[in-house]
Chain A
Amino acid sequence: AQSVAQPEDQVNVAEGNPLTVKCTYSVSGNPYLFWYVQYPNRGLQFLLKYITGDNLVKGSYGFEAEFNKSQTSFHLKKPSALVSDSALYFCAVRSGGSQGNLIFGKGTKLSVKP
């Protein structure tokens, strides 16, 4: 069965500091991995995805994520956090070899303080 875990309910970061939002997954076969962001009272917005190729994926708003197959992780990172990055972040996974649907993590609330 497919699953995805976001071990932190909340991450607090000072503006200008690097941020990491963690995600681990479990799928059969090769994973397709996604990060989405949700601002208050809005729908989810796509940030980036890993399908194949380079393990470091760059996405919108300066975010990047590193796929680590041995650790089954896909952590979201940004070198310098902004207050406007404060939002709810969702990791999602799908098995590349199946017809299964996208499975979302429970979300991590990122709070960036000035």
Chain B
Amino acid sequence: NAGVTQTPKFRILKIGQSMTLQCTQDMNHNYMYWYRQDPGMGLKLIYYSVGAGITDKGEVPNGYNVSRSTTEDFPLRLELAAPSQTSVYFCASSFGTGRDEQFFGPGTRLTVL
């Protein structure tokens, strides 16, 4: 049981480039989330999904897109990378919402130059 896995661990992008951050969970969780963590700012929700085929915006969705074609996978797409997207990105999952704790992946450290 690997939990939540993320790839890549690190990435450097040039301004204007695009990339996809991968996230997979093997716990059969319905809910999945993408957060970004900036120093001293806590975690901000980018997008979330309540099940395959259903996604919704979080607090800071601009510049990002997601899809959820399977229960296991929840990739995050960055189009036209900007320096403001330099951050650490965490994927998380939970069985339900509200009462259930979230399980986090190890993170992807992204730098946009």
Contact = CB atoms under 8 A, between A and B. Distances in A.
B42 A90 contact: yes
Nearest to A42: B106
Contacts of B98: 32, 94, 96
A101 B48 contact: yes
Number of chain A interface residues as a range: 20 to 34
Contacts of A94: 97-98
A99 B50 CA distance: 11
Range for the number of chain B residues in contact with chain A? 20 to 34
A43 B42 contact: no
Q: Mostly helix, strand, loop or mixed at chain A's interface?
A: loop
Contact of A44 (B41, B48, B59, B104): B104
Contacts of A36: 104
Contact of B101 (A46, A90, A106): A46
Interface of A: 9, 32, 34, 36, 41-46, 49, 51, 90, 94, 96, 99, 101-102, 104-107
Given A41-B106, A43-B90, A105-B42, 15 more contacts: A9-B40, A43-B4, A44-B43, A44-B102, A44-B104, A45-B104, A46-B102, A49-B101, A94-B98, A96-B98, A96-B99, A99-B97, A101-B45, A104-B42, A106-B40
Query: Lowest 3 CB-CB distances: which A-B pairs, in order?
Result: A43-B104, A46-B101, A104-B42
